Amino acid sequence: MSFRMNLQNIDWSLYAIIDQEWLGGRDIQWVTKQIIQGGAGIIQYRNKVSEDKKCYQESKKIRVITQKYHIPFIINDRIDIALAVDTDGIHLGKDDLPLSVARKILGNNKIIGFSVRSYSDYQHAKYADYLGIGAIYPTKTKKNYPLTELKLIHEIRKKSSIPIVGIGGITMENLAPVIQSGVNGIAMISALLSSEDIKNTTLQFIKAINKAKKAESSN
């Protein structure tokens, strides 16, 4: 099954990013299971520090779990690893491989996500299947990263029905305005991986997201 052909059936509510730098020595398959069992609907693997071999091996381990639970698996940046492991898609930024080239390489059955910080970035997202917009708030993952105002999400949502996830420094306390800005969900790294109880933390975020969505729909 191609998740790209069924984007509307993906649960975008909580898009979990497993970052190698936040694993803290924990087994990557165990972490992946905890996140999925907590309710995350999509998994991304992000590794900016390891050699190619480790990135490939860890991606294969995640792939086993995501296939078992029928959850889409996206890899950050690495189109070579995406092909080698047969991930469900890739996430790229404006300084990475052009989206048009990525589409030619990956074909029509793979998801392509694109990072957006400005309206100008959005205008280059022609071949993207979903957008990651942010950083919304200051984030531990990308220090001194320029912040993106929620009004950008409002603006893009008026022009497009493409799935959008907000990212950057999102917590239980500040997620409601993000959800109410028109996103389909939120992406998280440190808020999940810094927890000693990843499964329960994921579950609590899902509850908070659903509560915010319910409040937004009743307005």
Enumerate the active-site residues. 46, 115, 142
3-state secondary structure at position 10: coil
Task: Tell me the two tokens of residue 58.
Answer: 């860890």
Nearest partner of 187 among 120, 156, 142, judged by Cα: 142
Task: Tell me the two tokens of residue 172.
Answer: 């239980």
Torsion of CA 52, 56, 62, 68, to 10 degrees: 170
DSSP tag of 5: G
Buried b (16+ CB within 10 A) or exposed e, 68-84: eeebbbbbbbbbebbee
Within the chain, residue ranges assigned H as helices are 28-38, 52-69, 79-85, 99-106, 119-122, 150-159, 175-179, 190-193, 198-218
Nearest partner of 79 among 51, 109, 49, 110, judged by Cα: 110
